[in-house]
């Protein structure tokens, strides 16, 4: 790792889950720990980048030298990421909710005696990553993540093209020894040059290796 490799550059990283409120006491969330995104932000700051970390609801400590902006919902993350532009690099490591309740109930939703189930009306959220990649202030490098349970390569390459990304880091979720809640993971990083496999390794090591690829692309 070269210490000043990203000096003078602005890097925006999103991390963690989003919580989509259903009523004042309930939400829809996901199992993202935020560890990968926080490690990436730490690695960017270590390389001298002016680093903004847009963090969903997690209990992790802020990495040194990072401008952290806490958000809760996908809509708040969307606003915070766009407000952080212009930037040289955007790395979307957050597990953003794809759907959010159409309305948030003002009071706690009650069971009705003898009543049936509850049907939630969900609407799609904005795709932050795709929007950043097509934005007039598009960063020079837009990097996405793909958490997949099925065909890693086909899904990652489809996302790379569909969302107009420069690079995508794909990992398997829902299997032992990696994924959302673990400290270790394996990343398959796809770009126009092909694929590189990083790990299995601790997420801090993967973040360093990923930032080396990012710095190489920018130099």
Rounded to whole angstroms, the Cα distance separating 174 from 159 reads: 19
145 binding ligand CTP? (CB under 6 A):
yes
Instruction: Find the length of the chain.
Output: 219
Structure token pair of residue 180: 């959302």
160 binding ligand CTP? (CB under 6 A):
no
17 binding ligand CTP? (CB under 6 A):
no
Q: What are the catalytic residues? A: 30
Rounded to whole angstroms, the Cα distance separating 180 from 32 reads: 5
129 binding ligand CTP? (CB under 6 A):
yes
- Exactly one of 17, 92, 101, 139 binds ligand CTP (CB under 6 A); which one? 92
Query: Which of 67, 131 has the CB closer to ligand CTP?
Result: 131
71 binding ligand CTP? (CB under 6 A):
no
Query: Which of 136, 150 has the CB closer to ligand CTP?
Result: 150
Stretch that binds ligand CTP, among 90-98, 113-121, 177-185, 210-218 (CB under 6 A): 90-98
Rounded to whole angstroms, the Cα distance separating 111 from 118 reads: 9
End-to-end CA distance of the chain: 14
Binding pattern for the stretch 163-182 against ligand CTP, x by CB under 6 A and - elsewhere: --------------------
74 binding ligand CTP? (CB under 6 A):
yes
Output the smallest distance, CB 171 to ligand CTP, in A. 10
Rounded to whole angstroms, the Cα distance separating 167 from 215 reads: 12
- Exactly one of 2, 7, 83, 98 binds ligand CTP (CB under 6 A); which one? 98
Query: Which of 24, 158 has the CB closer to ligand CTP?
Result: 158
127 binding ligand CTP? (CB under 6 A):
yes
Site residues for ligand CTP per CB under 6 A: 14, 74, 92, 94, 96, 98, 125, 127-129, 144-147, 159
């Amino acid at each position: 790792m070269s210490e000043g490799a990203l000096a003078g550059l602005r890097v925006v990283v999103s991390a963690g889950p989003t919580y989509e409120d259903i009523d004042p006491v309930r939400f829809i969330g996901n199992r993202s720990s935020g560890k990968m995104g926080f490690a990436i932000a730490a690695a960017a700051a270590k390389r001298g980048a002016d680093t903004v970390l847009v963090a969903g609801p997690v209990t992790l400590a802020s990495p040194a030298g990072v401008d952290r902006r806490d958000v809760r919902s996908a809509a708040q993350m969307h606003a915070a990421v766009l407000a952080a532009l212009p930037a040289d690099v955007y790395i979307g490591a957050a597990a953003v909710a794809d759907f959010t309740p159409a309305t948030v109930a003002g009071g706690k939703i009650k069971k009705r005696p003898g009543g049936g189930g509850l049907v939630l009306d969900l609407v799609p959220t904005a795709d932050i990553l795709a929007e950043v990649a097509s934005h007039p202030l598009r960063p020079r490098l837009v990097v996405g993540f793909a958490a997949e349970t099925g065909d890693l390569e086909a899904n990652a390459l489809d996302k790379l093209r569909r969302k107009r990304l420069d690079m995508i880091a794909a990992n398997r979720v829902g299997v032992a020894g990696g994924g959302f809640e673990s400290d270790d993971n394996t990343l398959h990083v796809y770009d126009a040059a092909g694929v590189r496999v990083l790990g299995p390794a601790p997420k801090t090591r993967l973040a360093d290796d990923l930032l080396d690829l990012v710095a190489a692309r920018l130099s």
